[in-house]
Amino acid sequence: QLQLVESGGGLVQPGGPLRLSCAASVFTLDYYAIGWFRQAPGKEREGVSCISSSSSSGGRTVYPDSVKGRFTISRDNAKNTVYLEMNSLKPDDTAVYYCAATDARLFRLCVLLPGAYDYWGQGTQVTVSS
């Protein structure tokens, strides 16, 4: 059973950076596409980035317009870890952030649909406030 553990959340001032990590308990992380999602109180869970398999899809990434140019997802398959670098953070970025995994064979390019992911971490809180 694949397990995902997020870390790196916390309180950050507007405009500041933060890096989240998602550690996976799996032998070969590259078998999975990984997504980062967030959920703010009273709002639906939304995708903020995903990364495809490196070997089969070149590690292609997807971002919504709301974070494009500010967030960067990357994967280190040797360390079984996926990162989310967040810059120029805004109060609207405040949410619980989750990483999720799905079989990379299902999608040539990863998707930002929560229903497409089978495995989820427990989340890490990110608060952007002065």
Tokens representing 55?
A: 């070997």
What integer pLDDT is reported at residue 33 of this predicted model? 96
Amino acid at 58: G
Residue-level pLDDT, tens digit, the chain, 130 residues: 899 999 999 999 999 999 999 999 988 899 999 999 999 999 999 999 999 998 888 899 999 999 999 999 999 999 999 999 999 999 999 999 999 999 999 888 999 999 999 999 999 999 999 9
The pair of structure tokens assigned to 62 is: 């997807």
The pLDDT of residue 27 is 80
Determine the Cα–Cα distance for residues 121 and 39; give it in Å rounded to an integer: 13
Paired sense of beta strands 71-76 and 46-51, if any: unpaired
Residue 50 and residue 61: Cα distance in Å, rounded?
Answer: 6
CB atoms within 10 A of CB 122: 11
